[in-house]
């Protein structure tokens, strides 16, 4: 099939991705993306499209849908050993390897490098909403983004999978992988009714400050799907997208009935020996799971794809159950 390219942004509406087909828009023209790209009028992709994945975990989602990107922006620094994705997705590349894109400042893409990759489609779904970046990318190839109005990097994991699935003509596969992870979560919630209604935080120490993940980010939504609820004081903190800053004088807001605590860019010992964190009853009484930022479960939660969340579920559920006892 010959490659057909239009200049414009592929904007997938949130309501559309819940159906078996999705609408994508370029300028004033609307196209439909079906499960079979070959049968789609207007917008179509080759049987083996050249996909460049720029958004956080967009490449992992594509691999889980059976599409191997030719290049991935390696946000999490997985590196060549796992081909820019976590260990849960590396097998999906088989004997191929994507080009790993990076920059001195995260998210500042090398447009010439992307253009030389000659993509059929660019995925920039879980990303910063930057119209200047999108406009430049759409001069290269169609661009798939989050629904309008979504906060920076705040598209939820189900919507991300469904948007990418619709754009790649893999809508049914996206529904399947989302359903598999959702079913696994429901099974854990059913087997652990003690999780239901427990006030919960997913917190991190970084630099000289602290923070907590909020609803809309997989690192909190994952636990909400198991029955936990956000610790109310956290919802009143100043937030930026999916993350709330916790000043030193408000560390007590992290004192919930259960929690996961980790670090960002700090040795794990900095968390283990933090007097403020250790003073919290949730930590002092053994109701918190403390994990280093390079723990496989933490990496999988940070990736936030259907398969990575299933991977994390198997590893963190026993620790959660022990903490909630």
Q: pLDDT tens across 22-62, in order?
A: 344 333 333 333 333 333 334 578 989 999 999 999 999 99
Q: pLDDT tens across 247-257, in order?
A: 899 999 999 99
pLDDT score, position 43: 58
DSSP characters over 100-155: EE--SSTT---HHHHHHT--SEEEE-SS---HHHHHHHTTTS-EEEPPTTPPTT--
Q: pLDDT tens across 138-147, in order?
A: 999 999 999 9
Q: Which helix (H) or strand (E) holds 200?
A: strand 199-206
Rounded to two decimals, the pTM is: 0.85
Read off the pLDDT of each residue in 241-268 and give the average, rounded to a whole number: 92
Tell me how far apart the alpha carbons of residues 271 and 268 are, in angstroms, rounded to a whole number.
Answer: 5
Mind listing the domains of the chain with CATH numbers?
9-180 (3.40.50.1980), 192-324 (3.40.50.1980)
Residues above pLDDT 70, as percent of the chain: 85
Is 31:24 a contact under the CB 8 Å cutoff?
Answer: yes
Confidence of residue 243 (pLDDT cuts 50, 70, 90): confident
5 pLDDT exceeds 90?
no
Q: pLDDT tens across 91-111, in order?
A: 999 999 999 997 656 668 999
């Amino acid at each position: 099939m010959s490659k057909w390219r239009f200049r414009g942004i592929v904007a997938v509406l949130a309501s559309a991705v819940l159906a078996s087909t999705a609408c994508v828009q370029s300028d004033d023209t609307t196209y439909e993306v079906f499960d079979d790209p070959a049968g789609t009028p207007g917008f179509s992709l080759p049987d083996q499209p050249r996909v460049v994945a720029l958004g956080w975990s967009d490449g992992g989602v594509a691999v889980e849908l059976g599409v191997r990107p030719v290049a991935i922006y390696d946000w999490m620094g997985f590196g060549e050993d796992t081909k820019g994705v976590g260990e849960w997705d590396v097998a999906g590349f088989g004997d191929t390897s994507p080009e790993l894109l990076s920059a001195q400042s995260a998210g500042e893409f090398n447009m010439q490098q992307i253009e030389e990759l000659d993509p059929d489609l660019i995925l920039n779904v879980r990303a910063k909403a930057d119209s200047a970046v999108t406009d430049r990318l759409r001069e290269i190839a169609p661009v798939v983004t989050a629904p309008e109005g979504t906060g920076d990097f705040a598209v939820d994991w189900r919507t991300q999978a469904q948007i990418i699935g619709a754009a790649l003509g893999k809508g049914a596969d996206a529904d399947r992988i989302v359903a598999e992870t959702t079913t696994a979560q429901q099974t854990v919630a059913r087997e652990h009714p003690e999780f239901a209604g427990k006030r919960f935080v997913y917190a991190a120490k970084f630099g000289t400050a602290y923070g907590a993940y909020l609803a809309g980010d997989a690192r909190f939504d994952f636990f909400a799907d198991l029955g936990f609820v956000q610790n109310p004081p956290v919802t009143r903190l100043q937030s930026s997208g999916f993350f709330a800053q916790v000043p030193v004088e408000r560390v007590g807001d992290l004192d919930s009935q259960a929690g996961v605590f980790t670090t960002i860019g700090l040795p794990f010992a900095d968390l283990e020996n933090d007097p403020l964190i250790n003073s919290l009853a949730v930590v002092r009484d053994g109701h918190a799971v403390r994990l280093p930022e390079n723990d496989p479960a933490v990496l999988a939660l940070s990736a936030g794809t259907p398969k990575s969340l299933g991977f994390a579920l198997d590893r963190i559920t026993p620790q959660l159950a022990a903490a909630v006892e």
